[in-house]
């Protein structure tokens, strides 16, 4: 049976638009008929469920706790539907539970969901914790969302060196120009020279949303709307290209 592709979306610092990028990638897959699961692995401060206005009783920590206590029944007890085609496994409500999750639990978790979905998108943070590193190992690709800012580029240069040391080709770079469209300091050539890597995808400045806070309050994802996909057609093409390419890559 065909297993889901696992793509972890992360960053080298906060404020890059990482989660927004992940949610619009999920929307792109969903509108193209793919079954998507979002796993919120930003364990101490994940807000995917809150961003989507998804109410939940059980989260990823409860799943881990039930497995540990031999009270686990079925994975569906911890998954919540956002819209048709997109389900969510929330991060812990209580950030104190983040450090209690043993990374070895991830193998069991993924074994329960990889046959149920076409794509699993993992929202991670910039910390190189043991849990994040284990998830990196299970991921088919790791998307680093960056901004055109000095500290982002320096951080990415460090991560590029780490991936080269590991001889891993999983890293893909997403330059999000829409997050701070007026703060671009460097050209694409400059960025490549600073980071010592290529930029795989560029989310254009035209994808900047002035009322993004209102959309967050409404639990709205931009590219789920036919009207907005037409309005932001350049960005939509970037996400479509990204979605197709990631599924085709070995």
214 — pLDDT class (breaks 50, 70, 90): confident
Q: Where are the domains of the chain?
A: 5-248
153-204 per-position pLDDT tens digit:
999 999 998 888 887 899 999 999 998 766 667 888 998 888 888 999 999 9
Which segments of the chain does DSSP mark as H helices, in order?
Answer: 18-31, 48-51, 60-68, 105-113, 130-138, 150-165, 188-195, 212-217, 226-231, 233-248
184 versus 16: the higher-pLDDT residue is: 16
Q: Give Dmax over CA atoms of the chain in angstroms.
A: 54
pLDDT of residue 184: 66
Q: Residue 77 carries which DSSP code? A: G
Q: pTM score, two decimals?
A: 0.95
CA distance 111 to 91: 18
Reading the block at residue 210, the tokens are 């002035």
Spell out the CATH class of 5-248. Answer: alpha beta
For the segment 34-48, the average pLDDT, to the nearest whole number, is 96
Torsions phi, psi for 9 (to 5 deg): -110, 120
């Amino acid at each position: 049976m065909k297993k889901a592709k696992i793509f972890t979306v992360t960053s080298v610092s906060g404020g890059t638009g990482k989660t927004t990028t992940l949610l619009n990638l999920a929307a792109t897959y969903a509108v193209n008929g793919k079954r998507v699961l979002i796993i919120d692995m930003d364990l101490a401060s994940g807000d995917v469920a809150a961003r989507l206005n998804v109410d939940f009783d059980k989260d990823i920590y409860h799943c881990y706790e039930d497995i540990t206590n031999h009270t686990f029944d079925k994975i569906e007890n911890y998954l919540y539907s956002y819209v048709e085609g997109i389900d969510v496994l929330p991060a812990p409500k209580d950030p104190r539970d983040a450090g209690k999750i043993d990374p070895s639990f991830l193998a069991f978790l993924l074994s329960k969901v990889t046959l149920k979905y076409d794509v699993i998108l993992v929202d991670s943070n910039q910390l190189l914790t043991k849990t994040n590193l284990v998830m990196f190992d299970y991921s088919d690709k790791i998307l680093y969302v960056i901004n055109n800012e000095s500290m982002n580029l320096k951080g990415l240069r460090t991560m590029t060196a780490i991936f080269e040391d590991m001889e891993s080709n999983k890293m893909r770079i997403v330059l999000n120009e829409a997050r701070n469209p007026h703060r671009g300091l460097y050209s694409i050539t400059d960025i490549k020279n600073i980071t010592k890597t290529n930029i795989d995808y560029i989310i254009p400045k035209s994808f900047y949303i002035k009322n993004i806070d209102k959309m967050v309050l409404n639990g709205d994802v931009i590219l789920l709307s036919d009207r907005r996909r037409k309005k932001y057609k350049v960005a939509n093409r970037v996400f479509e290209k990204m979605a197709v390419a990631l599924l085709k890559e070995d």
